[in-house]
Amino acid sequence: MRAIFLFILLTCALATLSAQNIAIIPQPVSVQPLKGKFALSSQTAIGYSQDAAKPVADMLATKLNTATGYRLKTQRRGQIQLSLNAQPNSTLGKEGYILDVTPQGVKISANEPAGLFYGMQSLLQLFPAAIESKTAVKKSAWSAPAVRITDYPRFGWRGVMLDVSRHFFSKEDVKRYIDEMALYKYNVFHWHLTDDNGWRIEIKSLPKLTQTGACRVQRYGKWGQFEAPGIDEPATDCGFYTQDDIREIVAYAAERYMTILPEVDVPGHSMAAIASYPELCCTKDTSIRVNPGSTFAEWYDDGTFKMLVDNSLNPSDEGVYTFLGKVFSEIAALFPNPYIHVGGDECYHGYWEKDAGCLALMEKEGLKNSHELQSYFLKRVEKILQANGKKMIGWDEILEGGLAPEASVMSWRGLEGGIEAAKLGHNVVMSPNDYVYIDLLQGDPIVEPDQTSYKRVRLQKTYSFEPVPEGIDPKYILGGQANLWTEKVPTIRQAEYMSFPRAWATADIYWSPKSAKNWPAFISRMEKHMERADFAGRNYARSAFDAIVTASLEEGKLMAQVTTEIDGLDVYYTLNETLPDAYTPRYSQPLEIPEGPVTLKVVTYRNGRPVGKMIALPREELLRRAGQKK
């Protein structure tokens, strides 16, 4: 009896131990740790029960072989077996899977190959972090804890957006980004292909879009502070994707069960198109050039703005619809996604309001204001898309002046646009900037690479995001995205730094059950994924480990308060120009900052080891934070 009791106790203890080793992102629906582990060997074979399962089996073999140096083969039967269900399991849907790991073998079953692909990603995350290595790692054992996982996504639209206009990303970089997101079960790559700063897609019937629109004058330094282009200055900073490149990337994404949502941002954000074809805008100003990151707008505190250069297409010009017909028919032929994103955001109407053609059109169509004129434009664009077999999605400004009949809305200025669209019975993708804009600062500006971001979205804020607002029928919420604008993201390494860990948080939000949300548990999984990223050579930010310093003035005294996003960190500080460490004072209550040229320096530790960056805040900066100085 005693022996049985001890055996049960030991089994439970072992299962708990392996549960601690299981750190899957996104968190699966159900994880049941079992006793023992599966050990990979150079003799392991990867089986595929049906031909349709072979591509995933081959991908798994390539990945395992790269890191282990083994030469595992794929064949009909193996110790790791991938099978499509003969009878669909209704719980799993199109993307779900069951992953069984036992000491004898591994079985992944799913209704569709996409489910096998996601099961493979979870399996890989059970192996040691070194499995992410791009070169063979010498290791005595490659094993995965025994477990039964049943898993399927909460949302069918799990997207990430990359802006390739503000900075161009090579074909290889785009593939790398797609790869990194597919690991985390994203299934939509939203490709922001055109904007004021570059037109990045070849349109064969409109060659100037890339001959002129894909090039701008070269500038170095701080985006937004660049000089405007000189009239005759050569435009040497170029980049675009040929249609062959696009087809290659679409196929690459499809192999990873990711669909590409192309965006052509109109009628605003069109300076690159206008630089190529000036007749498309009201002013027909032939001096307009592709913007290199110099300021051309004034933004006001009430959220309105003025474009000092005309960057909007002219909605009263039939030539504009002919132009868009050409653009969208070529785009529709390149991308299998049922949707095309047409932008619709931040369009300045000032030039329309002064244009005789626009005024005449408004009169003729009975349009009461420029919002209705934009709505007229978008309804025409929707018809163009429909004629090409596509559905329209746009940023939430497309609601203004009346939503096009079948349009879906991507809500970015908050949740409100999404709520309004869902109430009207339209589909919605949620990507509110104050939660999931991963271009925004994620830590203290003093120590982040981009100090001038207009807002901050810390990891915990991102993780707190709930895409289905109270009282809204969830059937209208297709899912959500994390969006990376790239004004200040010139390289793929920086794109990774901005994306991770926040895109790990959004992976959980869009895949995992709402009830699985647990911040400390996410942080512990995140840390394991940082280790994996290290092996993969993938960049990420550790900003969530940094201290958060605020300041206030209390009875004339300057006080500094320090908190952390992550529990269990110790903050050490100095006020005497030395570096803080575990032997300098430990922060326990708000600090009074003495008069004089004092700098508060803080650093975070955990279990006696530094985990965050040092943040140094001169008294002046603390006063500014206390609201005393701009």
Residues of the shown chain interacting with ligand ACM in the complex, contacts defined by CB under 6 A: 345-346, 395, 412
Residue 156, Cβ neighbours under 10 Å: how many?
13
- By beta-carbon proximity to ligand ACM, the closer residue of 48 and 412 is 412
Residue with tokens 């500094």: 560
Q: Which of these is catalytic: 167, 192, 269, 341?
A: 269
- By beta-carbon proximity to ligand ACM, the closer residue of 97 and 412 is 412
- Whole-number minimum distance, CB 180 to ligand ACM, in Å? 22
- By beta-carbon proximity to ligand ACM, the closer residue of 7 and 299 is 299
Q: Is 39 helix (H, G, I), strand (E, B) or coil?
A: strand
- By beta-carbon proximity to ligand ACM, the closer residue of 346 and 570 is 346
Q: Which of these is catalytic: 179, 233, 248, 346?
A: 346
- Whole-number minimum distance, CB 380 to ligand ACM, in Å? 21
- By beta-carbon proximity to ligand ACM, the closer residue of 298 and 620 is 298
Residues in the chain: 630
Query: In this structure, which amino acid lies at residue 344?
Result: G
- Whole-number minimum distance, CB 516 to ligand ACM, in Å? 29
Q: How many CA atoms lie within 13 A of 531 on its CB side?
A: 14
Residue with tokens 């779900």: 96
- By beta-carbon proximity to ligand ACM, the closer residue of 113 and 262 is 262
- By beta-carbon proximity to ligand ACM, the closer residue of 149 and 410 is 410
Question: Is the peptide bond prior to 267 cis by the omega test (within 30 degrees of 0)?
Answer: yes
Q: Is 514 helix (H, G, I), strand (E, B) or coil?
A: helix
Query: In this structure, which amino acid lies at residue 615?
Result: I
- Whole-number minimum distance, CB 263 to ligand ACM, in Å? 9
- By beta-carbon proximity to ligand ACM, the closer residue of 18 and 483 is 483
Alpha-carbon distance of 476 to 429, in angstroms, equals 9
Alpha-carbon distance of 261 to 273, in angstroms, equals 20
Structural contact between residues 149 and 120, judged by C-beta atoms closer than 8 angstroms: no
**Which two three-digit tokens encode residue 447?**
């120590």
Rg from Cα positions in the chain: 27
Question: Is the peptide bond prior to 26 cis by the omega test (within 30 degrees of 0)?
Answer: yes
Which among 394, 433, 429, 398 has a CA at the least distance from the CA of 414? 433
341 is catalytic: no
Q: Is 412 helix (H, G, I), strand (E, B) or coil?
A: coil
By CB atoms closer than 10 A (0-12, 13-18, 19+), residue 19 is: middle
- Whole-number minimum distance, CB 302 to ligand ACM, in Å? 17
Residue closest to ligand ACM, measured at CB: 345
- Whole-number minimum distance, CB 437 to ligand ACM, in Å? 7
- Residue 417's contacts (CB-CB under 8 Å, 6 or more residues apart) are 395, 396, 397, 399, 409, 411
For Cα atoms 259, 82, 60, give the angle at the middle one, nearest 5 degrees: 65
- By beta-carbon proximity to ligand ACM, the closer residue of 268 and 315 is 268
- Whole-number minimum distance, CB 386 to ligand ACM, in Å? 23
Structural contact between residues 447 and 438, judged by C-beta atoms closer than 8 angstroms: no
* Extended beta strands in 285-356, E state: 297-299, 305-307, 339-343
Which run of H or E residues covers position 75? strand 73-75
- By beta-carbon proximity to ligand ACM, the closer residue of 110 and 498 is 498
- Whole-number minimum distance, CB 223 to ligand ACM, in Å? 15
Alpha-carbon distance of 208 to 199, in angstroms, equals 10
**Cα 340 vs. chain centroid, distance in angstroms?**
18
Per-residue burial over 115-146, b = 16 or more CB atoms within 10 Å of its CB, e = otherwise: bbbbbbbbbbbbbbbbbbbeeebeeeebbbbb
- Whole-number minimum distance, CB 324 to ligand ACM, in Å? 19
346 is catalytic: yes
- By beta-carbon proximity to ligand ACM, the closer residue of 394 and 580 is 394
Alpha-carbon distance of 203 to 198, in angstroms, equals 14
Q: Which of these is catalytic: 95, 100, 163, 195?
A: 195
Per-residue burial over 380-390, b = 16 or more CB atoms within 10 Å of its CB, e = otherwise: bbbebbeeeeb
195 is catalytic: yes
- Whole-number minimum distance, CB 478 to ligand ACM, in Å? 17
Structural contact between residues 142 and 127, judged by C-beta atoms closer than 8 angstroms: yes
Per-residue burial over 198-231, b = 16 or more CB atoms within 10 Å of its CB, e = otherwise: bbbbbbeebeebbebbbbbbebeeebeebebbee
Which among 298, 564, 293 has a CA at the least distance from the CA of 444? 564
- Whole-number minimum distance, CB 393 to ligand ACM, in Å? 12
Residues recognised as catalytic: 195, 269, 346
